[in-house]
């Protein structure tokens, strides 16, 4: 495991380090700030991954899939080995713990971690293999960027649609990517959005440049008063609940009593039904 992961991750490390200086100007004060977001894209502007913070300790993550729509929104406290995670469509609401903590291990040490996954009424502990293969510092518009290159293998309960193997965790941005995706990063965009749904619509618009009609539709939808009203309601209800009750170990927004679809933010599925 260690040899192949080190070789692949080292190549990604060098490529990522070279890519960052050419990235767009980013305001890193938006990172981990409630309402702030980050979107990473390749040299052609194709988005790779994005995140939006509900609080300093809770964010949503979205990832682009080749030949498919972006992944569904997942809530996590952090991207590399999250300790709190929810995904509504897959009915995920778990707390996770690791022994030892992966980031505490020195570079080059291959370790067997114990990952404990706590569900609402049960828990399970499984071993996973982990090794940090390198840590690199680079510059992004004169801002220091630190990335941890690592490998993970085994029955890993991670963010949905994220695979084991060589990975890169950009610590400065709290973004975790497959090494192959990290090697493509050339641009970083930061900004602010009104709610999780507002950010998701923004990300979808960025993710479908090959569907200009759909991209334009999502951009126009975000500016409509009724959409912004739904964004405001989501920020004051669902987002607030997730940032407090859920983040402290309680139920997710979907699991609360008296759940209503109208409380769940903008309906993106029907906002732009014609993707042509």
Confidence of residue 111 (pLDDT cuts 50, 70, 90): very high
Res 24 pLDDT > 60: no
Taking phi over 0 as left and psi of -120 to 50 as alpha, with beta for the rest, 113 belongs to: beta
Please tell me the predicted confidence (pLDDT) of residue 186. Answer: 85
Confidence of residue 196 (pLDDT cuts 50, 70, 90): very high
Cα distance between residue 62 and residue 45, in whole Å: 16
Res 267 pLDDT > 90: no
Please tell me the predicted confidence (pLDDT) of residue 248. Answer: 87
* Dihedral in degrees, nearest 10, Cα atoms 93, 169, 23, 189: 20
Q: Lowest mean pLDDT: which of 78-87, 90-99, 137-146? A: 137-146
CB burial class (10 A; 0-12, 13-18, 19+) of residue 176? buried
Average pLDDT of the segment spanning 252-257: 76
Please tell me the predicted confidence (pLDDT) of residue 164. Answer: 95
CB burial class (10 A; 0-12, 13-18, 19+) of residue 254? middle
Res 3 pLDDT > 70: no
The predicted model scores a pTM of 0.87
Q: Which residues are CB-contacts of 242 (< 8 A; sequence separation ≥ 6)?
A: 54, 58, 75, 86, 196, 252, 253
Confidence of residue 276 (pLDDT cuts 50, 70, 90): low
CB burial class (10 A; 0-12, 13-18, 19+) of residue 54? buried
């Amino acid at each position: 495991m260690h040899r192949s992961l080190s070789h692949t991750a080292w190549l990604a490390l060098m490529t990522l380090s070279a890519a960052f200086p050419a990235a767009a100007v980013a305001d890193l004060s938006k990172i981990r700030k409630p309402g702030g977001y980050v979107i990473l894209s390749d040299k052609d502007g194709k988005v790779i991954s994005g995140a939006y913070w509900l609080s300093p300790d809770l964010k949503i993550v979205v990832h682009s899939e080749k030949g498919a729509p972006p992944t569904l929104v997942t809530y996590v406290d952090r991207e590399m080995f999250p300790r709190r995670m929810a995904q509504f469509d897959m009915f995920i609401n778990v707390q996770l713990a690791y022994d030892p903590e992966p980031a505490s291990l020195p570079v080059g040490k291959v370790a067997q971690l114990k990952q404990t996954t706590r569900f609402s009424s049960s828990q399970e502990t499984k071993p996973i293999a982990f090794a940090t293969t390198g840590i690199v510092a680079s510059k992004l518009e004169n801002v220091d960027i630190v990335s941890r290159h690592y490998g993970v293998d085994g029955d890993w309960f991670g963010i949905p649609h994220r695979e084991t193997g060589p990975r890169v965790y950009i610590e400065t941005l709290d973004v975790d990517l497959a090494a192959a995706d990290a090697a493509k990063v050339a641009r970083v965009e930061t900004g602010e959005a009104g709610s999780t749904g507002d950010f998701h619509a923004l990300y979808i618009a960025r993710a479908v440049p090959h569907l200009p009609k759909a991209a334009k539709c999502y951009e126009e939808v975000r500016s409509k008063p009724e959409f912004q009203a739904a964004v405001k309601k989501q920020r004051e209800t669902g987002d607030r609940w997730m940032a407090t009750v859920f983040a402290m170990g309680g139920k997710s927004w979907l699991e609360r009593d008296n759940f209503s679809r109208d409380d769940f933010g903008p309906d993106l599925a029907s906002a732009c039904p014609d993707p042509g």
